[in-house]
Amino acid sequence: MSGKFKAIIAGGGFGGLTAATALAQRGWSVTIYERQPEIRAAGAGIYIWENGLRILEALGADVVTKDSFRGLAMEQRGHDDSVLDPGDFPPSVRLITVTRKDLLAGLRRAAEKAGVEIRTGAEVIGAGSEGDLHFLGAHAEKADLAIGADGVWSMVRRSLGLELFHQQTDEGALRTIIPGTPKDLGPDGQDKYIECWSGERRFLITPLNHREIYLALTCQKTDLAGKKSPLDKESWKASFPRWAHLIDRTDQMLAWAPYSIVKVRSWSSGRTAIIGDAAHAQPPNLGQGGGMAMQSALALAVHLEGIADRRDIPDRLARWEEKERPLAEHCQRWSCLYGEVSMLPDATRAKVVSNGMADAWVRNEILRAARSIPTGTEALG
């Protein structure tokens, strides 16, 4: 009987809420410890690919509404606004964009409905291998299973000695949401997302609904004008003149920040596991970091189904890692590779993007996670 088991989770982000809901739906008693004063999303918009949508459906999380934007392509454009790759998705692969706030709120509602207890203002400062999480004031909580879903700077990962390396990239992004509608992308920009390249800068345009557009402005850490907060609008308009009307609408921006790449020795130690960015943080170039966090979280709960003795948990965690880790690391590898394209001169990049994306093998590798059937969603067909 799994009903007697208890799980404690550090972090109430996409991974933590998914793991909590999936375990609670399977009879576990679950408590999340979140360090912020409330469950709160950092960031602006987020892409949810087919695999992530299947997970939300399996959890019964109501995130996608009639208002959410569904793009049918990710069009790549060069510095002169010419189309390098039309980026049409196969019909079986959906891609939806929503605000991070809406995704987190939907996951939170699903967790609460499943009976998960959420304690906010609770900072985890360490963990042990016996399902234990440690807090300030020498206080600790113990359970059958502990999970570190505490993001890129995971205290759980570090205190268990699981970290191999945590590298920050030279590339990073400023992000914001502006008022706007898909019509702002022009008559040739309907039903799609548009990513434009110019020098070492990138400008990603993501409609979220019929009121808001998410913009991500990417540049190198050495690009002092590009990184500037508040945004140096003239500098960005010089790089992307076609999109001056959107750049002019920017107001509050999330400051430039680099991406993290995390590699670990193992996804667990004893009865304590790590999931999401804590285990496999990656640059956002494939838009799969959050998807992979939810995917490994749901799979964790599935791998623990039917367990009768908590001494079996370490073996189940090992099987979970063996099954799920290759895909998460595939996304990490391809996401890093994709980022390297921004270092190429414009003319070379135009050829690399056009030819590369026209190649069926490359497209398959990029879409491998989106096309995967996440563990625990097989019944959806």
Which residues form the interface with ligand FAD (CB under 6 A)?
10-16, 33-36, 46-47, 123-124, 149-151, 155, 173, 175, 259, 276-278, 284, 287-291, 293
CB of 34 to ligand FAD, least distance (A): 5
Residue 41 or 81 having the CB closest to ligand FAD: 41
Residue 81 or 329 having the CB closest to ligand FAD: 329
Residue 107 or 307 having the CB closest to ligand FAD: 107
Residue 108 or 303 having the CB closest to ligand FAD: 108
CB of 347 to ligand FAD, least distance (A): 27
CB of 368 to ligand FAD, least distance (A): 14
Task: Enter the tokens of residue 364.
Answer: 């398959």
Residue 289 or 374 having the CB closest to ligand FAD: 289
- Measured over the CA atoms of residue 294, residue 332, residue 224 and residue 77, the dihedral's sign is negative
Residue 15 or 78 having the CB closest to ligand FAD: 15
At a CB cut-off of 8 Å and minimum separation 6, what does 306 contact? 2
CB of 363 to ligand FAD, least distance (A): 18
CB of 234 to ligand FAD, least distance (A): 23
Q: What angle do CA 283, 350, 227 make, to 5 degrees?
A: 45
At a CB cut-off of 8 Å and minimum separation 6, what does 266 contact? 162, 321
Inter-CA distances, 85 with 46, 189, 358, Å: 22, 13, 8
Residue 120 or 235 having the CB closest to ligand FAD: 120
Tell me which residue has tokens 């359970």: 143
CB of 18 to ligand FAD, least distance (A): 8
CB of 232 to ligand FAD, least distance (A): 19
